[in-house]
Structures are given as C-alpha cells and as structure tokens.
Amino acid sequence: MFGNILIWFVVIPVIMMAGLGLCRNSSMNAIRSVMVVCSTVLLGLSIWLCCDFLSLRAAGVDDEMLFTGSWMWYAPLNIHLAVGVDGISVLMLMLSSVIVFAGTFASWKISPLPKNFFLWFALLSTGVFGFFISIDIFTMFMFYEVALIPMYLLIGVWGTGRKEYSAMKLTLMLMGGSAFLMLGLLGIYWHSAPEGGQLTWNILEISHNASIDPDWQKMLFCFTFVGFGVLGAMFPFHTWSPDGHACAPTAVSMLHAGVLMKLGGYGCFRIAIFLLPQAANELAWIFIILTGISIVYGAFSACVQTDLKYINAYSSVSHCGMVLFAILMLNTTAMTGAILQMLSHGLMTALFFALIGMIYGRTHTRDIRQMGGLMRIMPYLGVCYMIAGFASLGLPGLSGFVAEMTIFFGSFQDADTFHRIFVIAATCSIVITAVYILRVVGKLLLGPVQDKHHLELTDATWFERLATVTLIVCIAGIGCFPNWINETIQFSFKPIIAAIQGVI
C-alpha cells in the first residue's frame, strides 16, 4: 500500500499533524520547522509525481489513470480506498502543494494558538490531497468532508470581523451542498452496475458500465452539479464566498479560494459530467445560464465593493463561474481552458489573498477608501499586487490570459446562437475585470498617501517574499509556456469527451 506514491500525499499531512502534535504550543520554531519540512516534501513529491507522470505518458502509457491502486475498506458496501491520477489530478496536486507551501510562509506569524492552527490547516490539506487522488466516489466524498470541516474552526477561531457568522454560513451552505451531493452519489452507486451486477463506487468502473438510465441521470446530474457547484461558487449559491473569504485568516483564504473552490469544478467534470454524460448534454443549458450569470454578476458586484477581500471574493465568483461555464461547453478546448483557469485562478487568488493579508497586517484596514499610495511605502508588495491584478485581468504572459483565451476559443466552437450569446457575454467580463482591478490598484497603490501613519510601515519580510515569489513564478510559468500543460490536460480529457460523444 505504501509503495504507491499517491498514498503519500495523504500520509505526509498526517505525519505533519503527528509532528505538530508533538510540538509545544509555545515553541514557534518547532512548529514552523515541521510545517516547512512537510510542505516542502509535499511540493517535491508533487513535482516528482509530475515528472514521473509525464515520462510515463511520453513512454506511451495511455491508460486513463496512472499509479492506480485499490484497497478494500468496507466490503458490505464495496467501498475501496481507490487511488489513481490523470494529468488533471497531477496538476491539481501540484497546485495544492504550491499553495500549501506558500500558505505556510504566509501564516508565519499566526497567533494565537499557532499549533492548533497548523493542525487544522494540515487536516484541511489532507482532505484536499485525498480528494484529488481518489477515484472512488465514496472516499472522494469523505475527503471532501474532511476538507470542509476544519474550515469552520479556522475561520471561527482565527478569523477577523464577523467571524462566527461567516464561519457558520460558509459551513452550513457547503454542508447543504454536500447533502445534495450525497444524494447524487448514492444514486450513482445504486445504479452503478447493470441489473444484478456488483455495485461499485469506482469512477472508472461506473463509466465503463454506463448503466444509469437517462431519467435517473437527469436527477442525479442536478444533485451532483449543484452539490459541487455550491463549492464552485455558482450563482445563486455563492454568497458564502464573500463573507467567508473576508473573515478567514490569510492562509485559509489562500487555500480555500486557491484549492478548495477547485474541488467544485473538479468534481463537476469528474463525477457529474463523466458519469452522467447524457444528462450533461441535455441539461447543460440550465447551468450555462447560471454560470454565465455568475461571470458577469460577480464582476459587476466586484466593481463597487470597498473591502479588498470582498472585491477578491466577488472576482472569484466571476472567475470560478468561468470554470464551470467552460466545463459545461462539453468540448476539449473549453474544458482544457477550465482546468487552466482553475490553476490560474488558484495561484492568482492565493497570491491576492496572501498580499491582502500582508497589507492588512500592516495597515489594519482593508477598506480601500482609507488607503492610498502604498506603492511608495511598500513597493515590493505593491508590485506583487499589480502582477496579481494583471494576471486577473488577463495580461498575456501571465496565467489568466492563457486560461481565458482557451475558454473563449473553446466555447466558441459551439455554433448555435444560445452558446454564442453566452460566450460573448462572458467575454465582456474581461473589460469589467479590468475596471475593478484598475480601480483597486489606482486607489490602493497609486495616488497620494491617504493616511500619514502608513508612511512608517515596512515592506515585505523574507518569508512573505518567499510566499509571493513562489506563486508569481508559477503564474508567469503557466502564462509563458502553456503548451505542455495544455497538452497534458487535453490528453486527460479524452475519456470524458468520449463519454459525452458516445451518447449524442
């Protein structure tokens, strides 16, 4: 079992928790060392996995999933701990480990109760990694829940502002989503094999059996898509996002917007579309409308917010809407764009939230009306914020551009008027995004200094620089050399596209 590299993605966070458990609450250095060592190992592991994966693919191994393994967990219900990755999961694992790594440095000086904070943080990452390596929908769901619960405490205890309310709201809405999801998953399980066959939770087997009849598919598709859509901040189930993000501590915002919201998008295509292709074809239009609204609506809402984190949260609604929107276009290019957008948005929002945390830590306000001219005072953070902003508004050379363009060009492949209208509406978001990003940059970083006390503030420390540089390098890397990622993703979409085309 431990010979499988994927298991280590779950084992290392568990070791991390054990290590943290041994530390005393007061010895900050010990806690930090455990976190740094483990998150570096995770990062290294994910890079190694990626190289290994690419070399296997290059060697012509074209199985749907590589590094598969399956261990019986609960025989009466045929639940396995089944793992396996394709190109998309590998990229998602890399994204997660990068963000965990950056998040560790971004919460270098967390207080109070640093040990407990990192314990919950590690549990959260266990859930995230576990979700991406699973190919058994039950274990997937379990890890999903593992990732959700720590969020409540992380926001409720270490948050700012109306933290109890926000933590409760976030948890309840996401739990509501997972209630739908559970229904959908159970439905899939009970129809997972032809009459009399052995029921299974394994994604590959279910898609292979293709035994769910169309009427059931429709119902289950709605359940699963809405279930994951809540986490993907789909309109009108997005309202946890502004409050939740605004109150969460830096690293949690980073991990949540950066990775956890991606769980939604990932689940949508991995389960809702892959396993229920017929319903996806028939019902996609409903969700295209909703996600199309998300894109424009989120962008417009972001234009008038005054709290930095709210702006970013609404911008996430818009960008994540783009992810789901592209997935629903059901063609390779658009779906590839969706994955690129997940990566891009993950890195970029993580960077945004990290920077906002750093700025907030200095100025003790997130209200853009009370700040101004910070570029002069903290040039490093200012430049990073601008880079994040440019990535968000789709500047070529940074990841956002590649993702958005792939989405637009992919979505435009559907030649009917309905799709066209929504694609063009979605493209309008690039202008609105520019408006709210430049508005923030103009008010926050440029212009005269608003508050004389801010003149005494300092620029970034080494650990803050490390966190931001890691993310910026990834953003620019994707933006400048997108094609290898693009090819990896496109290859991974083959079975899903085949499933969709098989039912038309």
Partner 1 sequence: MDITLPILILAIPITMFLVLGIGGVKMSRKLAGILGICGLGTTAVLAYIVALTYYFSGDANFIIDGVRQQYQVFDVTWLAFTQRLVVNIGFLLDPISALMLIVITTISFMVHLYSWGYMEHEPGFQRYYAFLSLFTFSMLGLVVATNIFQMYIFWELVGVSSYLLIGFFYKLPSAVSASKKAFIVTRFADLGFLIGILILSYYTETFNFVAMTNNPAAVLQEFGGATFMGASLLTWAMVLIFTGGMGKSAMLPLHIWLPDAMEGPTPVSALIHAATMVVAGVYLVARMFPVYCVVDASLTFVCYVGAATAFYAAVVACAQIDIKRVLAFSTISQIAFMMVSLGCAYDLPIEGVHYSGLGYMAGMFHLFTHAMFKALLFLGAGALIHAVHSNNYTAMGGLRKYMPITHWTFLIGCLAIAGIWPFAGFFSKDEMLAAMFNRHWFWGAWMMMVAGLTAFYMFRLYFLVFWWEENPHYKEHKPHDAPWQMSVPLIILAAVSFCCGWIDFGQFVTWNGVPYHIHIEWVKVAIPSLIVAICGIALATKMYMKKNDLPTKVKDFWPTLWEAAHRRFYWDEIYMFITHKIIFGIICKSIAWFDRHVIDATMDAFATITQKASYAIRGMQSGSIQAYVLWYFFGAIILAAITWLCLI
Closer to partner 1 by Cβ: residue 11 or 405: 405
Please give the DSSP secondary-structure letter assigned to residue 504.
-
Closer to partner 1 by Cβ: residue 72 or 172: 172
Q: Which of residues 309-348 bind partner 1 (CB under 8 A)?
A: 332-333
Residue 449 · residue 377 · CB < 8 Å: yes
Q: Which of residues 228-287 bind partner 1 (CB under 8 A)?
A: 235-236, 238-240
- Of the listed pieces 103-111, 113-121, 165-173, 270-278, which binds partner 1 according to CB under 8 A? 165-173
**Residue 419 C-beta: closest distance to partner 1, Å:** 12
Closer to partner 1 by Cβ: residue 199 or 434: 434
- What's the rounded Cα separation, in Å, for the pair 465 and 458? 13
Q: In terms of Cα–Cα distance, which of 316, 339, 501, 337 is closest to 423?
A: 337
**Residue 90 C-beta: closest distance to partner 1, Å:** 19
Closer to partner 1 by Cβ: residue 86 or 404: 404
Of 14, 50, 289, 438, the one binding partner 1 (CB under 8 A) is 438
Of 69, 487, 497, 503, the one binding partner 1 (CB under 8 A) is 487
Specify the residue for token string 């906002």: 356
Burial 403-440 (b: 16+ CB within 10 A, else e): bbbbbbebbbebeeeebeebbeebbebbebbbebbebb
Closer to partner 1 by Cβ: residue 84 or 373: 373
Q: Which of residues 26-45 bind partner 1 (CB under 8 A)?
A: none
Of 24, 194, 448, 456, the one binding partner 1 (CB under 8 A) is 448
Q: Which of residues 339-398 bind partner 1 (CB under 8 A)?
A: 373, 375-376, 379, 390, 393-397
Q: What is the largest CA-CA distance in the chain?
A: 75
Residue 419 · residue 329 · CB < 8 Å: yes
**Residue 175 C-beta: closest distance to partner 1, Å:** 12
Closer to partner 1 by Cβ: residue 78 or 171: 171
Give all strands (DSSP E) within 227-325, no chain letters.
none
Helices (H), 393-447: 399-411, 417-440
Note whether 172 binds partner 1 by CB under 8 A. Answer: yes
Of 51, 61, 77, 304, the one binding partner 1 (CB under 8 A) is 304
Q: In terms of Cα–Cα distance, which of 217, 232, 129, 144 is closest to 182?
A: 144
Closer to partner 1 by Cβ: residue 65 or 425: 425
Closer to partner 1 by Cβ: residue 48 or 484: 484
**Residue 205 C-beta: closest distance to partner 1, Å:** 31
- Two structure tokens written together for 399: 């990841």
- Applying CB under 8 A, the site for partner 1 has a residue count of 57
The burial class, CB within 10 Å (0-12 / 13-18 / 19+), for 453 is: exposed
**Residue 102 C-beta: closest distance to partner 1, Å:** 20
- What's the rounded Cα separation, in Å, for the pair 253 and 246? 8
Note whether 9 binds partner 1 by CB under 8 A. Answer: no
Is 448 strand, coil or helix?
coil
Specify the residue for token string 């994204």: 95
* Contact residues for 228 (Cβ-Cβ < 8 A; gap 6+): 177, 181, 263, 264, 265, 267, 268, 271, 272
- Two structure tokens written together for 293: 């609204």
Q: Which residues bind partner 1 (CB under 8 A)?
A: 168-169, 172-173, 235-236, 238-240, 297, 300-301, 303-305, 332-333, 373, 375-376, 379, 390, 393-397, 401-402, 405-406, 408-410, 412-413, 415, 423-424, 427-428, 430-431, 434-435, 438-439, 442, 445-448, 482-483, 486-487, 490
